[in-house]
Structure 1
């Protein structure tokens, strides 16, 4: 094993613990070449188990040592063609050498859903154009006839897909606290039944306090430029964007309005030059109710590399496909016309089709993280087909 392979092995052992490392990696050979780490083990069974259960851990350890995203291959002795189990870095941006981030959870906006399961993930509540957006409203009407509008208030700009990362971060933080709270409630009830007098658990706070450095780490960014100013600008756009769900004609549903964050930001700490180092923003009621107060919160799990997909269109595709594509390998198809509507494309259809074709072609072997993509049909019948390949046992 090379020196870098040994460093990866040591980091893996620290991540997994001695028992798991000894069971699956003790006799493995780990090699890091270019932007790929290859783990060679004695049997195909071991290769399959590591592929299914430890590929993300291998990727995290190797990316830390390499200082950049790497792909992962796990092979049995004697195999010539390695099996890639992580996305090729062609569609990913570089990360900081100390990059580390756990998986995060995106709750479905079920508290806003109708009985026919319409919610905000059906569309992009942000613009994909980071610099040239001139619109002040995004509008999408579902097949059920529900119209969802995202409006910029006053002279503010619409939020961007990068701004929306802060909404994801808030949901992640709150989901983690809500899980802890539910565990505490279970212990509380058990102790009460046992005749003891336990302290009543405290519900998660409705204020989101976070440091700028924690935001940078969550977004998997490198320090540089006016980071603090950029984050405050994102929060400003999120607060000044109103989501409106129009009433449904012929029903008792009255629609509703909400903000993407619950308040304007507040600086809690700053440098001697006035740059914010810690900030606070309120959690909006729709997020709090959906994550904390709902008996069984509905959570969508995003791949940790979602944050480093370099193209906005790739990120929008991943977010939408996470909602729509079944986990049993069944393909999901959608016309490019409807996809343009869901993504709030401002260009003509033929130009959206061109951009989407480039985006799909840019995915190595049609892979967008765990999804596989292909374009089918011709002309007005052009569609995107996506599926999740089943793991080989």
Structure 2
């Protein structure tokens, strides 16, 4: 489709489900610490077909809570594209223009006096956090592999469009990065997964990460991951502390949609993830 036929913006829709990018739900594209902003740091994840690097700018690395805004962007872009496919709207562009109140409601952040400032700071970190993906892909002629390198921020740009009479930020324009836009608009397969609304009520960053991993790896069934592998995908710095918090999460049995069980493994402890609607008798897929 010609670029001129696309709408500049995609707009808010009521009552939509939360979506996330399937490709990146098993690695942390953000920091998990509330205390450390990790400005200027790089986290590298080595994968079977390459690696991913998360690079932080001077404002600090985007946090897992900042990423709530990206979830909102993906969700509304997906809804706009679904409406277009059903002939009920225009082909969406890359610009997203929510009110601050819309962001606070979607992300369930509350409406305190400092929340508008929190959003602006989050956007600074999202824009300054770059994801570099280096992967091996089949060549177009089918002979061998090609090295594919992509690098983009979690959001491309943002602009504060207006203020209320009191001077607080009221409306914001966010430009979706090309990697998100391309996934939702151009992909032929399922590239987003629905996330429970209860996700936003999870306070622990590790619990949030485990939920995203479970949604990606287990879906409506089950999966098995080594503690060490999950830790290496989390970007955290202390394995012992990670295990302590994970075991506390398992004991609490409080993760939305999923049951977690620890099992001894040949190379260390394993996490068994089972969707609560699935029979525990089914054999989990081993991703250790």
State the TM-score, normalized to the length of structure 2.
0.83
Counterpart in the other structure of 2:182: 289
Cα contact 1:360–1:373 (8 A) shared by 2: yes
Q: Secondary structure at the match of 2:210?
A: helix
Q: CA deviation at 1:294?
A: 2.5
1:225 and 1:219 map into 2 onto residues whose CA distance is 16
Cα contact 1:138–1:344 (8 A) shared by 2: yes
1:311 and 1:165 map into 2 onto residues whose CA distance is 14
Q: 1:124 to 1:315 in 2, by over 3 A?
A: same
Counterpart in the other structure of 1:269: 162
Cα contact 2:46–2:52 (8 A) shared by 1: yes
Structure 2 counterparts to residues 1-393 of structure 1, below 5 A: 102-108=16-22, 119-134=23-38, 136-142=41-47, 144-153=48-57, 155-184=58-87, 202-246=90-134, 248=136, 251-263=145-157, 265-327=158-220, 329=221, 331-347=222-238, 349-362=239-252, 366-377=253-264, 381-390=268-277
2:15 and 2:235 map into 1 onto residues whose CA distance is 30
Name the Cα RMSD after superposition: 2.3
Q: Secondary structure at the match of 1:203?
A: coil
Q: Secondary structure at the match of 2:19?
A: strand
2:37 and 2:126 map into 1 onto residues whose CA distance is 15
Q: CA deviation at 1:203?
A: 1.2
2:201 and 2:15 map into 1 onto residues whose CA distance is 11
Cα contact 1:137–1:158 (8 A) shared by 2: no
- Higher normalized contact order (CA 8 Å, seq sep 6+, divided by chain length): 2
Instruction: Tell me which structure has the larger Cα radius of gyration.
Output: 1
Cα contact 1:290–1:297 (8 A) shared by 2: no
Cα contact 1:101–1:217 (8 A) shared by 2: no
1:359 and 1:295 map into 2 onto residues whose CA distance is 36
Q: 1:297 to 1:386 in 2, by over 3 A?
A: closer
Q: Secondary structure at the match of 1:233?
A: helix
After superposition, the C-alpha distances for 1:308-340 in whole angstroms (9 at most, x for unaligned) are 11211111110111000142x4x3111111110
1:361 and 1:333 map into 2 onto residues whose CA distance is 17
Q: 1:294 to 1:105 in 2, by over 3 A?
A: same
Q: CA deviation at 1:275?
A: 1.7
Structure with the higher fraction of residues in strand conformation: 2
Q: CA deviation at 1:101?
A: 5.7
Q: What is the total number of aligned residue pairs between the two structures?
A: 259
Structure with the higher fraction of residues in helix conformation: 1
Cα contact 1:177–1:204 (8 A) shared by 2: yes
Q: CA deviation at 1:132?
A: 2.3
Cα contact 2:134–2:149 (8 A) shared by 1: yes
Q: Secondary structure at the match of 2:34?
A: coil
State the TM-score, normalized to the length of structure 1.
0.62
After superposition, the C-alpha distances for 1:327-383 in whole angstroms (9 at most, x for unaligned) are 2x4x31111111100111111x22221121122222xxx341111001111795111
Q: CA deviation at 1:248?
A: 4.3
Q: Secondary structure at the match of 2:87?
A: helix
2:190 and 2:136 map into 1 onto residues whose CA distance is 25
Structure 1 unaligned regions, length at least 5: 1-99, 109-118, 186-200
Q: Secondary structure at the match of 1:122?
A: coil
Counterpart in the other structure of 1:41: none
Q: 1:125 to 1:107 in 2, by over 3 A?
A: closer
After superposition, the C-alpha distances for 1:28-51 in whole angstroms (9 at most, x for unaligned) are xxxxxxxxxxxxxxxxxxxxxxxx
Q: CA deviation at 1:159?
A: 0.5
